[in-house]
Amino acid sequence: MIDYEHFSMVDIRAGQIIEVEDFPRAKNPSYKVKVDFGSEIGIKNSSVQATNYTKEELLNLQVIGVVNMPARNIAGFMSEVLILGVEGEDGKLALLTPSRSAKIGSQAY
C-alpha cells in the first residue's frame, strides 16, 4: 500500500488529443497520439493501445494522463505520458475521460 504523500507525487492531468497516427511498428496494435496538456505541460507524445476506437473518435477527445513519468521507447517512438484506461464491459480498453468538459492541463484531485 502507498500513503497519500506517495500518491500525491503522481501528476495526473486532463489533456486533449490533437493528432492521431497509425503505429504499425508497435508490437501490439496502437496509435501514436499528440496530447495537449495546456501551457504549463505543453504538447506531449504518447502511444496508446486504443485501436478499438477509430482515429476520428480519438481526435479532440479529452483524456486523463500521468505526465511526470519518464519517457518510454516503444518501437523507436518516445512515449512521454501514460494515457489512463480500464477494461470496459466488453473486455476492450475504455479510456478514462472527464464526464464533463475539463480545463486542459488541470490536475486531478
Taking the domains of the chain in order of start, what are their residue ranges? 4-95
For 65, the grid coordinates are: 494522463
- Residue 43 binned pLDDT confidence (cut-offs 50, 70, 90): very high
**Mean pLDDT across 7-22:** 97
Kindly give the pairing relationship between strand 31-36 and strand 43-48.
antiparallel
- Residue 9 binned pLDDT confidence (cut-offs 50, 70, 90): very high
- Residue 45 binned pLDDT confidence (cut-offs 50, 70, 90): very high
- Residue 56 binned pLDDT confidence (cut-offs 50, 70, 90): very high
**In the chain, pLDDT over 70 holds for what percent of residues?**
100
Instruction: Domain 4-95: give its CATH code.
Output: 2.40.50.140
Kindly report the pTM of this predicted structure.
0.95
Kindly give the pairing relationship between strand 77-79 and strand 93-95.
unpaired
